[in-house]
Amino acid sequence: AQSVTQPDIHITVSEGASLELRCNYSYGATPYLFWYVQSPGQGLQLLLKYFSGDTLVQGIKGFEAEFKRSQSSFNLRKPSVHWSDAAEYFCVFGATNKLIFGTGTLLAVQP
Amino acid sequence: NAGVTQTPKFRILKIGQSMTLQCTQDMNHNYMYWYRQDPGMGLKLIYYSVGAGITDKGEVPNGYNVSRSTTEDFPLRLELAAPSQTSVYFCASSPLGGEYEKLFFGSGTQLSVL
């Protein structure tokens, strides 16, 4: 069955530190993968997407993600976190006619 | 502004009451979706529609109904509200089913059933 797992429910990092949010998927073929961000009380914003090709994808706000087929992973990274990055992040799998969401990782940023 | 508009933004219902969550998009998208988001969880698909007159169930359809009489509108109906339906509801649309990079979300409706 198709599924997405985000093993970290909550992460706290210091402002300026690097960030990596983990995502693992379960699917037999090449998946469509996304990272969305949801700021408090807001809707969802697409950060980046992977369909095929280059396994390192760049997104908005300085985020990037790397697709690793051998590890069934699509981890999100940012070299230097800003206080405005505090939000909930969802790894999402694109299935036929629907998106399958991970449970999310809540990011807190310490000054 | 073009996009997906949801109304209302907030609503409190009593158990057993009914209501309709409205969703309208002005981008002429064929596909529309309703998701619910429970605290600490990702979004779960309730229903989706691939075009006017065509709807199908998602992962969690029980307790809900939908209709799609026009391309623009995709209302979600709760007939007998239950506390388990307390959630944030998101409507979304896309031109076609696989065009996820063109997926637009509404700003959500926060529903409490007491």
Q: Percent of chain B at pLDDT above 70?
A: 97
Task: For residue B33, give how far its alpha carbon lies from the nearest alpha carbon of chain A (Å).
Answer: 8
Q: Is the pLDDT of residue B101 over 80?
A: no
One DSSP character per residue, chain B reads --SEEEE-SEEEE-TT--EEEEEEESS--SEEEEEEE-TTS-EEEEEEEEETTEEEE-S--TTEEE--SSSSB--EEESS--GGG-EEEEEEEESSTT-GGG-EE---EEEEE-
Q: Is the pLDDT of residue B69 over 90?
A: yes
Mean pLDDT of chain B, nearest integer: 92
Distance CA B34, CA B89 (A): 7
Report CB contact under 8 Å: B42, A102: yes
Distance CA B69, CA B52 (A): 5
Distance CA B93, CA B96 (A): 9
Token match 């690097």: residue? A18
- Using the Cβ of A99 and the Cβ atoms of chain B, whether some distance falls under 8 Å is answered with yes
Distance CA A27, CA B25 (A): 32
Q: What is the DSSP letter of B15?
A: T
- Pick from A75, A43, A9: which is nearest to B89 by CA? A43
A110 versus A97: which is more confidently predicted? Answer: A110
- Taking CA atoms, what residue in A is nearest to B96? A97
Give the model confidence (pLDDT) of B19-66 as tens digits: 999 999 999 999 999 999 998 778 899 999 999 999 999 989 999 999
Give the model confidence (pLDDT) of A46-104 as tens digits: 999 998 888 999 999 999 999 999 999 999 999 999 999 999 999 998 877 678 889 99
Q: Is the pLDDT of residue B70 over 90?
A: yes
